Structure 1
Amino acid sequence: MTVAGTEGRRSNRRGMATRENMLDAALRSLASGDPGAVSASRIAKEIGATWGAVKYQFGDVDGFWAAVLHHSAQRRGDIPATVTAVGAPLDTRVAAIIDTLYDGLTSHHSRAIENLRAALPSDRTELERLFPRTAAELSSWGDTWLLACQHAFADLDVDPRRVREVAAFIPGAMRGIVSERQLGSYYDPDEAKRGLTNAIVAYLEQSQQR
């Protein structure tokens, strides 16, 4: 191998390491919950980098936030394989999905993403106009989640429309349960999860009986 080739590989590894450091620093900073943490230049300074380095790695702030979201998605927990095991009962599958979401939403990665999303435009059209790559990454999360839910119940005789409805409301319902826990609610989150699981199971079972 030539000296130039060796140096090129080393440079590429350094570049990837810098990129990973920036993304990890972003998640740590965003997880603090400080609205001021939603600043690419501030995050760069925290690791001794410049705004120019951020632009070199990600293009612009939109590319940076899109990369942060993608970086987080690669590290979040997937729905356990046991959920889709042939013969697994409906209630076991739903409970596993609920537990997986709960664990994910109580992680520091989730706190980081919530902080980032709170600083982004809430209007979808405005988000897509100002941060098209970030919006596309968020949209892909929804698509991936829906496919995961459809796969989880694919071998069961349940109404696909109801699966879509369940996939649509579970994230919001789970955020509510997690929020109650974080605010110091007197409600038992485990009891809330069981109640939600039972409600979803009953709803999906009704479609099996038709």
Structure 2
Amino acid sequence: MNVAPIPSPGDIGAQAVAIRIGGDQAAFWGCGFFGAQDTLHDDRGRHYFKECFIQGSIDFIFGNARSLYEDCWLVSMANPVAPGTKSINGAVTAHGRASKEENTGFAFVNCTIGGTGRVWLGRAWRPFSRVVFALTTMSDIIAPEGWNDFNDPARDQTAFYGEYNCTGAGANMSMRVPYALRLNDTQAAPFLNVSFIDGDQWLQPYV
């Protein structure tokens, strides 16, 4: 937990990491991660999160790891927005993949997104940012456009942002940014289980 105050978008030096994970083959079952901006620094390596509670406001899951999040609760604590406004005041993810050669990315499967504010699913911290949300329930806090290119339109061509069979008011893809991908079964398959993180080679069952 990091109890630093919730920052406003654009505040300088407001990041307040609760945990950084930089080792390979790390797994977390039923853990809670609490903070505001940059809560969980999923830095590098292969990681597995199962039934975890992750709270934050801006980029609250960020880094350049290759991680699978299953059955997790992602809770925005961004400040509420006034009714009728279109302001964005948070983002769930900021993945930092810098080149297409890097086999990294975040996959969220059977998760639930809720809380307060109006947030993006992710923004492209680095040009080849890669995030997939599959079979996830999204509340209406998700902005209709869904994703953000970090104010660099060139990243529209290189980021990989996919959604697959998600539900809830925030999962409507009709107004998504043009580079958001509606994945079919074949495209989604590599992201849906522990094979995404080579888990069959190292992940031990939790007992």
**Which of the pair has the greater relative contact order for Cα pairs under 8 Å at 6+ separation?**
1
Which structure features the higher share of helix residues? 1
The structure where strand makes up a greater share of residues is 2
TM-score, normalised to structure 1, is: 0.30
